[in-house]
Amino acid sequence: MSYCSSLHASLFPDKQLHVLQDEDTEENGDTFDMQITVSDPEKVGDGMNAYMAYKVTTKTSLNLFSRNEFSVKRRFSDFLGLHSKLASKYMHIGYIVPPAPEKSIVGMTKVKVGKEDLSSAEFVEKRRSALQRYLTRTVTHPALLKDPDVIQFLENTELPRAVSTQALSGAGILRMVNKAAEAVNKMTIKMNESDAWFEEKQQQFENLDIQLRKLHASVESLVCHRKELSVNTASFAKSAAMLGNSEDHTALSRALSQLAEVEEKIDQLHQEQAYADFYLFSELLGDYVRLIAAVKGVFDQRMKTWSKWQDAQLLLQRKREAETKLQYANKPDKLQQAKDEIKEWETKVQQGERDFEQISKNIRQEVGRFEKQRVKDFKVVIIKYLESLVHTQQQLIKYWEAFLPEAKAIA
Amino acid sequence: MDASNKESALNVNASSIKISDVSQDGDMLTFAITSQNLSGSGGVCVFRTYEDFIWLQQSLFSQEDVPELQGVIFPPLPDKPLPSHSHTQAKVLKQLGFLSLGDKWQIYCKALELYLQQVAAHTLLSKNKELYNFLSSSESPGKQRSKKGIFNRLSQVMEEMRKEGHKDVDEFFQSERDKTTNLSVLFKVATEKFLEVVLTKQKLALACGHFSTSLHLCVNQENADAVAFSKICLKLSDIIETMKRNFEKVSDNDMSTLGLGLELESRYQEAKREMLFRRTCRLVELDNANKNVDRAKPNKKAHMEEVQKATQKEFNLISSVAKQEIVHYHRTRVQVLRDFLIDWCEKQLSTAQESSTLFSQYLEACKGLAV
């Protein structure tokens, strides 16, 4: 196992993001427990056709699944394919579909080309972690959990190869959102927001987006400096070791060598802490920035739905006017046709209204769920982070307590 | 230290010398120096600027009639304290290293204080009556002299780098020269690297500050869930703020103990190297004098022999002083480094214990947070 993933395992032993029962009323009030792990990245094939296969393990007591514990092998495009299907099924009715992890041409090329260095190991680890979080978020959604594509993804040994997975990576979602926004802007009629809740919420999400991006930038800076500290500490440790070797006075020489060892150990701590900074906060914030894009996406879908409804109403109006005109002309065929069209469009208008009401209802529910989940996610991360902080300080205490007698022994 | 009837013996208790205060007026720093005399009966306080210190250092160097001074390892005077403005910060850091850090010149004052204590405790240097004036006279000491004495001879001679490699007649000194050349570089490098570490910790403290402030701004009271999220953000903000303070404390500990210790040791190694070089230069002179005797025409021979004898005598004197100085230095430096290392370790241990307690408290509080 690579350095990164063994470090990851030691930081997060078996405490994956658990799916807990929601406190408030859920459609089925059963208690459910589910744990998804993505692990054991394995390179399959050679050259530019090579890919990484990940093991996806599900442990669950839910009767949705035929077994309590099972594993399958999946590649990155499979995950994108799953997301693509879910987005096309559910976004237009207002469900916030968790975005899939970002594609990375640079990262994958390194892996394909066979670079066995630290940066490609880190890339694979980062991706593995992101895929795990993605699946966990997806199954946390009560509707998505029951989706046959999801169940098939988790259970089936073989999966048809996903094609055209370009559309709906995180960047793809953003593109879709932007297109929808453009469409909205092109609307000649501005949406009459009868419900202030939606206007307020949209504004809140705008603000949240800005705040999260700022926080993300802060954390990236923190991670960067922490890594710098590790490098500088290692460099100092080396120079202290050289001092220890050259120093004549025996006890002082020993103390300086011990100093070098302590600093090396502290460097380790810095690296672990940088790891925690990144995998806990940086990735969490990054995930939420992408989630907000998905949230904005459903709001825009609602506008599209409203627009469709309005268009149908407009068209119905025109059909009615046309029918009225035809009543005074002497074209019984055309009149009948007009009456049929009116019926058709009346249905469409009713459907449009129902769709709009449904999506509005769904979004309210989804936003509520999102806000609760957000609190849980952050709380879990903060607790893990605090545990890493406490661990670091306790290790430091051990190191200093061990060094003190060495320093005092210098006569 | 003998402080009885010797005419120019210093009546001051070296370890009582303290720099009790520093005030800044524009770019000029004034140091308040307090000291007590040996009997403990009286204390005195004087005010000195850095220029006054330079005058003192030059006075110590320039006693022409005391040849054994060339064998002395002169306690190193810290470089000029330049207040740092944004455009001079890098330069000041390069020149002063750790001495430029910390609140209100604390570390610099400590270095200056140690300098005075070392001078006052030195058997030869403490006899210089200018030192007494410096420590007790309410008047400012004299203006800077023109560069005279071995201080000047030193800079002339420093240009002749080839003398550095001149083989020694004494195994003890050859070994000391080789060791010092090696060790002084290593100490300098270690000090620079440690400075980098400390500066990075300060950057981390700043980054934590920014993160903490950004979190503080994430407050939204719209509904129950938003309120819960705001609470979490504020909690995290407090945690990151604690992290910031931890970094600040850790780097303060670093600066004021190990950082200062390494900085001083670097400079002292340099001072030792300078002394050994002075002696080497005299050795070169002696070797030349010997050659001159051999080569001298009969009418000049007697004169050359006189020169040779005088040079030899002075060289022996310097060597014997130098040997004592080196022995004394080896003993003291180990003590000094020991004290700094112990102080550093104890401070960092205490800080780690405090932080561990604080983070544990936060952890308990967060676990209990109703969500």
Domain ranges across chain B: 1-157, 165-371
Mean pLDDT of successive 10-residue stretches along chain A, which has 411 residues: 49 40 37 84 85 93 88 93 93 93 78 73 90 95 93 89 56 64 57 82 91 93 94 97 93 94 96 90 93 93 91 91 84 84 92 94 94 92 95 96 94 76
Q: What does DSSP assign to residue A34? A: E
Q: Which of B184, B186, B192, B350 to mutate to test the interface with A (most CBs of A within 10 A)?
A: B186
The answer for residues whose C-beta is within 8 angstroms of residue B248's C-beta and 6 or more apart is B202, B205
Residue B199: exposure state from Cβ atoms within 10 A (0-12, 13-18, ≥19): middle
Q: How far is A374 from chain B (nearest CA, A)?
A: 7
Backbone torsions φ then ψ of A72, nearest 5 degrees? -140, 165
Using a CB cutoff of 8 Å and minimum separation of 24, what contacts does A317-323 make?
A: A319/A345
CB contact under 8 A, A382 and B235: yes
Residues of A in contact with B239 (CB under 8 A): 382, 385-386, 389
Residues of A in contact with B201 (CB under 8 A): 229
**CA within 13 Å, CB half, A315:** 18
A95 shares its domain with A244: no
Residue of chain A minimizing CA distance to B200? A229
A231 shares its domain with A347: yes
Q: Is B208 on the interface with A (CB under 8 A)?
A: yes
A145 shares its domain with A290: no
A335 shares its domain with A289: yes
* CATH label of the domain that carries residue A337: 1.20.1270.60
Q: How far is A312 from chain B (nearest CA, A)?
A: 35
Residues of B in contact with A247 (CB under 8 A): 183
* Short-list A227, A366, A214, CA closest to A286: A214
A46 shares its domain with A141: yes
The reply to whether B165-371 shares the fold of B1-157 is no
A271 shares its domain with A216: yes
CA torsion, ordered B356, B362, B367, B369, to nearest 10 deg: 180
Residue at A176 is within a domain: no
A61 shares its domain with A146: yes
**Other C-beta atoms lying within 10 Å of the C-beta of residue A111:** 20
Give the pLDDT confidence of B143-168 residue by residue, as tens digits: 665 554 555 555 555 556 667 778 88
Residues of A in contact with B187 (CB under 8 A): 243
Residues of A in contact with B233 (CB under 8 A): 378
Residue of chain B minimizing CA distance to A240? B190
- Domain around A83: 33-157
Residue at A75 is within a domain: yes
pLDDT for position A150: 94
CB contact under 8 A, A229 and B366: no
Q: Compute CA distances A181 → A95, A184, A297, A298, A299, whole Å.
A: 18, 5, 9, 11, 10
Give the pLDDT confidence of A305-317 residue by residue, as tens digits: 999 999 999 999 9
pLDDT for position A15: 38
Q: Which regions of chain B are under pLDDT 70?
A: 1-10, 64, 86, 143-162, 370-371
Residue of chain B minimizing CA distance to A218? B211
For residue A202, give both structure tokens.
């949209």
Residue at A61 is within a domain: yes
Size of interface A-B (CB pairs under 8 A): 156
Q: What is the CA radius of gyration of chain B?
A: 27
Give the pLDDT confidence of B215-274 residue by residue, as tens digits: 988 887 777 778 889 999 999 999 999 999 999 999 999 999 999 999 999 999 999 999
A138 shares its domain with A211: no
CB contact under 8 A, B334 and A249: yes
- pTM comes to 0.86
**Partner residue facing B341 (CB), from A375, A396, A407:** A407
A150 shares its domain with A218: no
A216 shares its domain with A287: yes
B165-371 topology per CATH: Substrate Binding Domain Of Dnak; Chain:A; Domain 2 (1.20.1270)
A97 shares its domain with A151: yes
A283 shares its domain with A361: yes
Token pair 């100092």 is found at: A236
Using a CB cutoff of 8 Å and minimum separation of 24, what contacts does B314-319 make?
A: B314/B67, B314/B282, B315/B279, B315/B282, B315/B283, B315/B285, B315/B286, B317/B67, B317/B68, B317/B71, B318/B67, B318/B68, B318/B70, B318/B71, B318/B278, B318/B279, B318/B282, B319/B71, B319/B170, B319/B173, B319/B279
**How many Å apart are CA A6 and CA A12, to the nearest integer?**
10
Of A157, A173, A200, the residue at which a domain comes to its end is A157
CB contact under 8 A, A375 and B218: no
Contact (Cβ atoms closer than 8 angstroms) between residue A364 and residue B309: no
Indicate left, alpha or beta for A36 from its phi (over 0: left) and psi (-120 to 50: alpha): beta
CB contact under 8 A, A236 and B194: yes
Q: So what's the ipTM on this one?
A: 0.89
- Report chain A's terminal Cα–Cα distance, integer Å: 45
CB contact under 8 A, B338 and A410: yes
3-state SS assignment for residue A92: helix
Q: How far does CA A181 lie from the centroid of its chain?
A: 22
Give the pLDDT confidence of A59-117 residue by residue, as tens digits: 998 888 888 999 999 999 999 999 999 999 999 999 999 999 988 777 777 777 766 77
Residue of chain B minimizing CA distance to A379? B232
* CATH label of the domain that carries residue A80: 3.30.1520.10
Residue at A372 is within a domain: yes
pLDDT for position A169: 55
Contact (Cβ atoms closer than 8 angstroms) between residue B131 and residue B120: yes
**How many Å apart are CA B210 and CA B240, to the nearest integer?**
9
Q: What does DSSP assign to residue A28? A: S
Structural domains counted in chain A? 2
pLDDT for position B168: 87
Domain B1-157 -> CATH class: alpha beta
Contact (Cβ atoms closer than 8 angstroms) between residue B256 and residue B357: no
Residues of A in contact with B363 (CB under 8 A): 383, 386-387, 390
- The rounded mean pLDDT for chain B is 86
CA torsion, ordered A273, A279, A280, A284, to nearest 10 deg: 150
